[in-house]
Structure 1
Amino acid sequence: MRQHLLNDLTTEHYRRSVVEGVERVAAQLAATDRPFTGATVDSLASRVERIDLDRPLHDTTAVLDELEDVYLRDAVYFHHPRYLAHLNCPVVIPAVLGEAVLSAVNSSLDTWDQSAGGTLIERRLIDWTAQRIGLGPAADGVFTSGGTQSNLQALLLAREEAGTGSLARLRILASEASHFSVRKSAKLLGLGADAVIPVPVGHDKRMQTLALAHELERCRRDDLVPMAVVATAGTTDFGSIDPLPGIAELCTRFGTWLHVDAAYGCGLLLSPRRRGLLDGIERADSVTVDYHKSFFQPVSSSAVLVRDGATLRHATYHAEYLNPRRMARERIPNQVDKSLQTTRRFDALKLWTTLRMMGADGIGALFDEVCDLAGEGWKLLAADPRFDVVVEPQLSTLVFRCVPSSAADPAGIDRANLHARNALFASGDAVVASTEVDGRHYLKFTLLNPETTTDDIAAVLELIARHAGQYPGESLDRAS
């Protein structure tokens, strides 16, 4: 079995195996004519379950044949222009190259003696991102597994900086449209169920600063400690960007940590035309960025940035076998000193190869394209009496629903839209997401593919209208 270990004796086996895998994936991508095959859970599960994992195949081609049967053929392909569902982007080839390199070398980014140059590349990218945000010379940060971990770490730092001995008094203020990870983080940080105060949003789905001021005043009056305000720069459902300058002013006035969750909207940092939408983000104490959303990077690639690098000490623990205190005194750069993770992939390499191949403006131009596309999609929806669209997009998300003439009441409209989404997914012709707005069922396009066109959007809208119009009333339970 030693022939399967990657080392100086097996480089030819490595080369042949990887090339064969790449060719198989390339052939699948070339042959894919829709984002999903419509395969059911039961059909896929039966194929996976019948594989005997204790009987290896011992042949690369046989392994890939089997993989094609249980995964590649029926995968959901985000590169297809009619995948319009979640915050999954098509990935750029330089990042895939970086992924191949980092997986083979397998550096672990916890300590210098496991990563060397990788540590320096990650630190350089953190500095570069912090400069793009405008956090100042004391800024620092670390790569994470995703926005949920980044938000958790930022709120951990905010909790520690709040400096109160009573967790029961701590409060986090976030808009009604903020990401669920804010509430999850509160639970993980030992705060009460009522620790997260939802701040109302306006018709544009942005946090209302007057409502935020009211809640901050109420905290002060009730002897509660607002440990953090979470402003969202790109909500998951609507792509809305909270009014960052006004929120920053209130945080300064009340002495409250400002965290900006820019997991989605971070692509604006590179936008040649829309960077102004993030004005005010430079005043944040911490920022979440997800490169694997709007920088077109493979999962996972995220980071948490802080204005004052010294606050990262709240995540620092020393182990004699790994990062003893003397290393800090000797200025040996161990990234584990900043991270919630210990063993950690060299995900920064993907962004590095992308920037070195495409440049920041090239990535930003792609994000501008999908934002432009969302604007065109909004015009289509607003002009079509069959559809009700919620809000004009700031980024690349459209939330809407079909209003078929056959639907007699709001509940019927809800069922028709859910039926349309299920029927569309089962057909494999397109993939769209769904959400609730004021208790009603809506559909959602999340546009992150520059190859998607207005013709694609129009075609999918026609499919939705057709499926919704054909909703057969009581058959919803059978369809879902």
Structure 2
Amino acid sequence: MPAAEAPPRPRSTATIPLAGTGDGLTEVADALARAVGGAQAAQRPAGPLPAGAPHDVLGAVTSRLGPAVVPATGIGADAALHRVAKLLVEQGINLTHPFAAAHLQPPPLAVAVAADALAGASNASQDTYDSGPAGIAVERWLVAALAGLAGFGAEADGVLTPGGSLSNLMAVMFARDSVARRLGVDVRADGVAALGTPVVFCSELAHFSTHRACAVLGLGESAVRAVPVDADRRMRPDALVEMLAELDSGEIPLAVVATAGTTDFGSVDPLPEIAEIAREHGMWFHADAAYGFGALFSDRLAPRVAGLELADSITVDLHKIGWQPSAASVLLVSDGTAFSSLERQVDYLNPADDGEQGYDGLLGVSLQTTRRPDAVKVATTLLAYGREGLGRMLDTCHDLARHAETRILGDPELELVAGANLTTVVFRYRGTAAEACLDELNGTLRRELLRSGRALLGRTSAFVDGPGAPSVTCLKFTLLNPNAGVADIDALLDLVVTTGRELATRPCTRTDADAHQEGAA
């Protein structure tokens, strides 16, 4: 009989650089060093953004990548890293620039970026024990630490999500399920129609993700009722009580979403009063503290978010105040049993007998299955800086916002719209322009600074003459660079004023009255 044919030997992968531990991590470090070399060879724009019209800037990036097809052969790791590093530096954003002041988008801490690279190198997932036990333990540690900082008890729990919008979605879902259980309704089996007509309350300045959450969950955006705000841009508890009293028969008050740090103004709704109203009406109380949770790092600012500990759930975005690379959002719940509606048992992931022996993961607390260990970068940052170190960074940014507020108040060409609650300041350029031209002038001013690449400012609409008055176009500083100084703020405001003067000499083509008339139509 012929000899049995030997089985084929597995193809060696020794020459393919793979990340992980040992030699793989050395290769990652070397690759990053080569990428840094490419970045250093790049010519960084003088300002926070590259100069030019959007079409030209975006086109420069795509042209350097080459034809939009998957190449038949690669150019090699070094050439690819060099090319991408250069285009990210030359055509990307520089959040470390002191004139980058538009969004809740901080320059990330170097230690967080390094830890994020380590987490990515393992390609671990948080869903099952055998997909990455270390990352699971880190997330559990981080959730417990943040829950304690929030003032929650031992029964609290939480999960990391891809962003505050998904954290808010989960919170509204938990609100729906909690009220459904209290009413004896099985929404998983019978659908949300069995609840009647659910209603979710939030302030008129709440983040739009509350509306999206209601749409996704089948409640409809019409379920959201916007509660008026006061002159300080905080939800009015008296208005909430009135709206609850006016509910029609069949309307079910599901939840009230309070905002601890509105996106534009950093204003914090009166959390203790809202918590009391929620309890009286059997509503879930969610605090969207995506922006404001970071105030807890600061002894000075923590009192501004007093009452967070009364919430049933809290949204936390540490890629805002926390200086993390995105995404680093967390949903905290005061009672971990809220996650029961997400529990799933799947034989190929978490068979029951494995779970009984401790071989479980975090599948049952997330809407995701595969999920990267984002907790690693946050935990590393907390270990590196502690609450005190992060608090100093926040206090610095708050001081910069207070300085900007003072400068704006003292400049006759500028008008303060909302002062520094946390790290944002809202204002507009007035100069000597006619009132009817100010909206167009401020919008053009911001775009001119964007086009030139000299400065990155935010924009919003806000009332100036009190709640209920027409909103006007405003500029916004969101100051999250702890390395910036008061001289940088002065220079940035000087740039705003000089640019405003130049633009004010142009005739306006669209008056504020026109804009308001169109909005009313």
| TM-score, scaled to structure 2 | 0.86
CA gap of 1:25–1:65, structure 2 versus 1, over 3 A, is: closer
The Cα offsets for residues 37-60 of structure 1, whole Å up to 9 and x where unpaired, read as 214332234344440341544333
Where do 4+ consecutive residues of structure 1 move more than 6 Å? none
Equivalent of 2:501 in 437, 461, 469:
469
Structure 2: where are the runs of 5+ without partners?
Answer: 1-12, 186-192, 463-469, 512-521
Which amino acid in the other structure matches residue 453 of structure 2? G
Q: 1:52-72 deviations in whole A, cap 9, x for unaligned?
A: 341544333422342245332
Residues 333-387 of structure 1 deviation map (CA, whole Å, 9 limit, x = unaligned): 3111100111111110001111121112101211121112111111111222211
Give the alignment partner of residue 19 of structure 1, picking from 19, 25, 33. Answer: 33
Structure 2 residue identity aligned to 1:409 = E
The SS at the match of 1:211 is helix
Q: What is the distance in 2 between the residues matched to 1:199 and 1:420?
A: 32
2:315 to 285, 288, 291: 288
User: Unaligned 5+ residue runs, structure 1?
Assistant: none
Q: Is contact 1:81-1:456 (8 Å) kept?
A: yes
- Give the greater-gyration-radius structure (CA): 2
Percentage identity across paired residues of the two chains: 36
2:420 & 2:28 partners in 1: Cα distance?
46
* Counterpart amino acid of residue 507 in structure 2: G
How many angstroms apart in 2 are the aligned matches of 1:358 and 1:245? 30
| 2-structure distance, mates of 1:475, 1:423 | 16
Provide the residue aligned with 1:156 in structure 2: 173
Shift of residue 329 of structure 1? 4.1
Partners of 2:61 and 2:91 within 8 A in 1? no
- The alpha-carbon deviation at position 184 of structure 1 amounts to 0.6
**Residue in structure 1 matched with residue 435 of structure 2 by the alignment:** 409
**What SS is found at the alignment partner of 2:201?**
strand
TM-score computed with the length of structure 1 as normaliser: 0.93
Determine the structure 1 residue equivalent to 2:228: 200
Query: Which of 75, 87, 102 pairs up with 1:85?
Result: 102
For 1:210-261, what per-residue CA distance to the aligned partner results, in whole angstroms no more than 9, with x for missing partners?
1111122223x54311111001011001010111111111111111110000
* AA of the residue aligned to 1:16: D
Distance 2:221 2:154 in 1: 37
Residues 343, 363 of structure 2: 8 Å contact kept: yes
Distance 1:24 1:354, change over 3 A: farther
Partner of 1:424: 449
Deviations 1:258-307 (A, max 9, x none): 00001001111211222111111101000000111001111111110001
Are residues 1:389 and 2:421 paired? Answer: no
For 1:328 and 1:68, the matched residues in 2 are separated by 44
Is residue 241 from structure 1 mapped to residue 275 from structure 2 by the alignment? Answer: no
Among 316, 337, 344, the residue aligned to 2:364: 337
Alpha-carbon contact 2:25-2:121 (below 8 Å) kept: no
| 1:185 and 2:213 correspond | yes
Of residues 124, 136, 148 in structure 2, which corresponds to 1:107? 124
Aligned residues of 1:119 and 1:333 also touching (Cα < 8 A): no
Among 35, 41, 54, the residue aligned to 1:41: 54
Q: Distance in 2 between matches of 1:333 and 1:399?
A: 48
- The code of the aligned residue for 1:432 comes to L
Alpha carbons of 1:386 and 1:166: their partners in 2 closer, same or farther (altered >3 Å)?
farther
Aligned equivalents of 1:15, 1:366: Cα separation in 2: 28
Change (3 A) 1:270 1:144: same
RMSD between superposed Cα atoms in Å: 2.2
- Change in CA separation of 1:91 and 1:273 when aligned onto 2, cut-off 3 Å: same
Amino acid at match of 2:171: A
Q: Secondary structure at the match of 2:473?
A: strand
Alignment of 1:446-461 (within 5 A): 446-461=478-493
Contact 1:167 1:191 (8 Å CA) reproduced: no
Q: Deviations over 1:436-474 (max 9, x none)?
A: 114311111111111222222222222222222222235
Q: What letter matches 1:450 in structure 2?
A: P
Moved more, 4-13 or 148-157: 4-13
Contact between 1:200 and 1:207, CA under 8 Å: does it hold in 2?
A: yes
Whether 2:240 is the aligned partner of 1:215: answer no
Number of equivalences: 473
- Aligned to 1:400, the other structure's residue is in SS state strand
How far 1:327 sits from its partner (Å)?
4.1
1:56–1:459: structure 2 CA closer, same or farther, 3 Å change rule? farther
Q: Tell me by how many angstroms 1:323 deviates.
A: 2.0
